[in-house]
Amino acid sequence: MIESQRLNYVRQHQQQLRVDKYINLNVYNYAPETLGNEKGKRVILPSSFVGGQRYMEQLYFDGMVICGHIGFPDLF
List, for residues 32-58, the tens digit of each pLDDT value. 555 555 666 677 777 788 888 889 999
- The per-residue b/e assignment along 25-38, b for 16 or more CB within 10 angstroms, e otherwise, is eeeeeeeeeeeeee
Shared domain check, 31 and 50: no
Across residues 60-64, what is the average pLDDT? 93
Domain that holds residue 59: 46-76
Helix (H, G, I), strand (E, B) or coil at 73: coil
Shared domain check, 29 and 65: no
Shared domain check, 6 and 33: yes
Shared domain check, 60 and 32: no
* Sign of the dihedral through C-alpha 49, 54, 56, 59: negative
Shared domain check, 37 and 21: yes
Instruction: Provide the pLDDT for residue 41.
Output: 66
Residues of the chain above pLDDT 90, percent: 14
